[in-house]
Amino acid sequence: MIFLGIREFGLLVLTWMAAATGRSVTEALRSWDGQWFLAIAESGYEGVPAGLVDAFGNRSAETPLAFFPGYPMVVRWFAAIDGDGGIGLVTAAFTVTIAFGVACAYALARLGRHIRGGSPRTGLILVALFAASPMSIVLVMAYSEAMFCALAAWSLVGVLERRWVLAGVCCAAAGLVRSTGAALVLAVGLAVIVAVVRRRDGWRPWVGGVIAPVGLLGYLAWVGVRTGEWNGWFGLQERGWGTGFDGGVATVTFSLEALADARSVLEVTTVGLIVVALVLLVVGFKRRVEWPLMVYAAGVLVMDLGSNGLMNSKARLMVPAFTLLIPVATALAKRKPSTAVLTLCALVVAGSWFGAYSITSWGYAI
Which pLDDT belongs to residue 87? 74
SS3 state of residue 240: helix
In the chain, DSSP assigns E strands to none
CB-CB contact of 311 with 264 (8 Å) = no
Residue 108 has pLDDT above 80, yes or no: yes
| Angle formed at CA 192 by CA 297 and CA 147, multiple of 5 degrees | 45
Separation of CA 206 from chain center: 27
Which pLDDT belongs to residue 363? 82
Which pLDDT belongs to residue 1? 87
Least confident range from 81-85, 174-178, 264-268, 318-322: namely 81-85
Q: What is the DSSP letter of 271?
A: H
Which pLDDT belongs to residue 263? 78
Which of 351, 343, 245, 256 minimizes the C-alpha distance to 301? 245
Which pLDDT belongs to residue 286? 96
pTM for this predicted structure:
0.96
Sequence length of the chain is: 366
pLDDT digits (tens, 9 = 90+) for 36-61: 999 999 999 999 998 999 988 999 99
Which pLDDT belongs to residue 364? 85
Which pLDDT belongs to residue 88? 86
Question: What is the distance between the alpha carbons of residues 28 and 22, in angstroms, rounded to a whole number?
Answer: 11
Which of 206, 190, 188 minimizes the C-alpha distance to 152? 188
Greatest mean pLDDT among 136-145, 240-249, 304-313: 136-145
Please report, rounded to a whole number, the percentage of residues in the chain having pLDDT higher than 70.
99
Which pLDDT belongs to residue 251? 96
Q: What is the CA radius of gyration of the chain?
A: 20
Question: What is the distance between the alpha carbons of residues 38 and 40, in angstroms, rounded to a whole number?
Answer: 5
Phi and psi at residue 61, in whole multiples of 5°? -65, -25
CB-CB contact of 185 with 216 (8 Å) = yes
Question: What is the distance between the alpha carbons of residues 100 and 168, in angstroms, rounded to a whole number?
Answer: 18
- Distance in Å from the first CA to the final CA of the chain: 27
Q: What is the DSSP letter of 325?
A: G
Helix axes 164-174, 145-160, angle to 10 degrees: 160
Question: What is the distance between the alpha carbons of residues 331 and 161, in angstroms, rounded to a whole number?
Answer: 23
Kindly indicate the confidence band of residue 269, based on its pLDDT and cuts at 50, 70 and 90.
very high
Average pLDDT estimate for 176-203: 96
pLDDT digits (tens, 9 = 90+) for 301-335: 999 999 998 899 999 999 999 999 999 999 999 99
Single-letter residue type at 156: L
Kindly indicate the confidence band of residue 83, based on its pLDDT and cuts at 50, 70 and 90.
low
Which pLDDT belongs to residue 85? 57
Question: What is the distance between the alpha carbons of residues 331 and 256, in angstroms, rounded to a whole number?
Answer: 31
Which of 89, 63, 94 minimizes the C-alpha distance to 76? 89
Average pLDDT estimate for 163-180: 98
| Angle formed at CA 177 by CA 327 and CA 209, multiple of 5 degrees | 75
| Mean pLDDT score across all residues of the chain | 94
Residue 163 has pLDDT above 90, yes or no: yes
